[in-house]
Amino acid sequence: MKTDSIQIRRCTELQEFDRCVDLQLAVWGYSDGDIIPRRVFLVAHKIGGQIFGAFEGGRMVGFAMSLPGHRNGHAYLHSHMLAVLPEYRNYGLGRRLKLSQREEALHRGIDLIEWTFDPLEIKNAYLNIEKLGAIVRRYTPDFYGTSSSPLQGGLPTDRLHAEWWLRSRRVCEKLDDKAPEQTVINNVTENVTANDTNTATIIVPGGIYEWKQSDAGRPRALAVQAADRALFERYFSEGLAVIGFQRDTDGNGIFQLGKWDENWFY
């Protein structure tokens, strides 16, 4: 599929917000209780949030929505939703939507965008950590409560909190392709930590998607989620952060944790 003709632009009209509602249904299959209605998109637009759409001709095929936030004296944007239709995935549209968010935020003097993501979603983790340069220092179990989306597989909605420091050396190097290339590593079968206290790894098995969607596999997915949750909470409490992500030859995802460098933020 050629995606060069797909345009990313701001959404400001009610009809465009209606399309964002439609995409939620197409991507996540939410029930009415979980759908964000168009009035919330309108409010987000009016109070300093962002709604960007990806358009092929007159058809919206993806969107990103953020809300303004303020914590500890620091203004930031919380990117609450990013959706791309299934047939348009793996062509870089998610990254393009995030880069549009970054460009507009920097124009307004905002240097931080945050969002949450499922630790069991390997592709999302790779985009967030390796392609965009976000770091992670926080984990919230069952962040949203019970989800009606079939993609969640009935599991608790555990979430990692991505921090995207837009002006940081780390992010600029990732986006300029100056960071060291991540190589595919040999198969990893279990969670292991390095000998020192400054590094660790957390593994997400490549079979997690299949396990989440089947009654037989769901207990296994729950066990992986619980084990990884305990590791994330332990390592974050010890001052480590997610600073890298790799995939091995069997499709497993490997979170790489280490001591974060304050210089990344400047």
What is residue 32's predicted lDDT score, i.e. its pLDDT?
82
- Stretch (H or E) spanning 32: none
C-beta contacts of 143-146 below 8 A and 24+ residues apart: 143/116
- Rounded distance, CA 171 to CA 199, Å? 21
What is residue 155's predicted lDDT score, i.e. its pLDDT?
92
User: What is the pTM (predicted TM-score) of this model?
Assistant: 0.90
What ranges in the chain are assigned the alpha helix state H? 14-28, 38-46, 93-107, 122-126, 169-175, 208-212, 218-237
Domain map (residue ranges) of the chain: 1-97, 111-266
Helices and strands in the chain: count of H runs, count of E runs: 7, 10
What is residue 266's predicted lDDT score, i.e. its pLDDT?
56
Phi, psi of 44 (to 5 degrees): -55, -45
Which CATH architecture group holds 1-97?
3-Layer(aba) Sandwich (3.40)
What is residue 3's predicted lDDT score, i.e. its pLDDT?
72
> Shortest CA distance to 101 belongs to which of 85, 80, 71, 129?
80
pLDDT less than 70: residues of the chain = 1-2, 177-197, 263-266
What is residue 195's predicted lDDT score, i.e. its pLDDT?
42
Residue type at position 227: A
What is residue 31's predicted lDDT score, i.e. its pLDDT?
83
What is residue 23's predicted lDDT score, i.e. its pLDDT?
96
